Amino acid sequence: MATVQPPPIKADKFLANQSVQQQAPAAFVLQPQAQAFVRSAGLVTQQQVYELVAAIKQDDLLTARIAQWSDLEQSQRVEVLGQLISLQSRLWHYPEPLLLPVVSSPQQLSGFIPRTPLNGRSEVYLNLLELEKQPPLVQLVLLLHESRHAYQLAQTEQAPHSDLAKGFAAGFAAEQNINPVSFGDIAALTHEYEAHQFANWVIGLLFDWQWYLPSLGSHLSQFNADGSLRADLLMWLDQPSATPLIDRFNQQLRKQRQQLGY
């Protein structure tokens, strides 16, 4: 007897899709099942952003190099990126990932490869060939984003029963099992939402909120020139509306899609 396959799920390629997110609701910050994660992350992310910025500013040479980022040689930038990876792992006591600056033709700018028994260490890679086509600070913000995943993964191992760790674990699992492809669904994954917000927040504080690239995360993880979030998910939770969170998010995404020219 032939197996009857379920019909394919129809999903928008840019907006967030309830049909996708309902398959693993704890993995997406717009779903009620992830609210405990969102509140926990709101506290931890803010605290650690300021801890990292303070630690950077205690190192005069590192601070100066970051301030002069656009003028640095590529070899100097790679050295700074390595310092930032080491600094974060020391601050929050997790295994330091390996930085892999690669020169390759695929268009993916960066990536994170989790630690396995085979490779021994998590890996953060940056595609220097493609990044040369981007504004110089993209390297820095993507390094902060990708290395944040190493911290997140460590939480799933060190404190697996916390709301934070359970949210990260759900996000990592959904990324593998559901493989969402729309910009909105990916940006709403727990670990992507938090990593984008962490990286954009650090960069904002280091450069006085003068730098903004609309493709790096959604408005939930991006900041205005005054340091406020472009769309504040915690505020949405504290001020309920008849409009579901995912619909409010998609309203923001439509604005963002115009900015990106999609």
For 209, residues 6+ apart whose C-beta sits below 8 A from its C-beta are: 223, 224, 225, 226, 227
- Which range has the worst mean pLDDT, 70-79, 90-99, 125-134, 137-146? 125-134
Token pair for 210 = 């003068």
Cα(48)–Cα(41) distance, rounded to whole angstroms?
10
- pLDDT of residue 159 exceeding 50: yes
Handedness of CA 251, 255, 258, 262 (dihedral sign): negative
Residue 105 confidence (pLDDT): 64
Q: Which residue has the higher pLDDT, 261 or 223?
A: 223
What is the domain partition of the chain in residue ranges?
Answer: 23-260
Cα(150)–Cα(136) distance, rounded to whole angstroms?
23
- pLDDT of residue 254 exceeding 90: yes
Burial class (CB in 10 A: 0-12, 13-18, 19+), 237: middle
Phi-psi region of 198 (alpha: psi -120 to 50; beta: other; left: phi over 0): alpha
Cα atoms in the 13 Å half-sphere on the side-chain side of 149: 26
Token pair for 181 = 């492809």
Q: What φ, ψ does residue 207 adopt, rounded to 5°?
A: -120, 25
Q: Which residue has the higher pLDDT, 149 or 6?
A: 149
Cα atoms in the 13 Å half-sphere on the side-chain side of 3: 2
Residue 3 confidence (pLDDT): 40
Confidence band for 6, pLDDT divided at 50, 70 and 90: very low
- pLDDT of residue 9 exceeding 80: no
- For tokens 């110089």, the residue is 136
Kindly report, residue by residue over 169-210, the tens digit of the pLDDT: 999 999 999 989 999 999 999 999 999 999 999 999 999 999
Q: What φ, ψ does residue 124 adopt, rounded to 5°?
A: -115, 120
Residue 117 confidence (pLDDT): 66
Token pair for 30 = 């717009």
- pLDDT of residue 7 exceeding 50: no
- pLDDT of residue 1 exceeding 70: no
Q: Which residue has the higher pLDDT, 177 or 115?
A: 177
Contact between 8 and 243 under an 8 Å Cβ cutoff? The reply is no
Mean pLDDT of 15-30: 97
CA 112 from centroid of its chain's CA atoms? 11
Q: CA 67, 69, 74: angle at the middle one, nearest 5?
A: 155
Kindly report, residue by residue over 56-114, the tens digit of the pLDDT: 999 999 999 999 999 999 999 999 999 999 999 999 999 999 999 987 767 789 999 99
Kindly report, residue by residue over 28-70, the tens digit of the pLDDT: 999 999 999 999 999 999 999 999 999 999 999 999 999 999 9
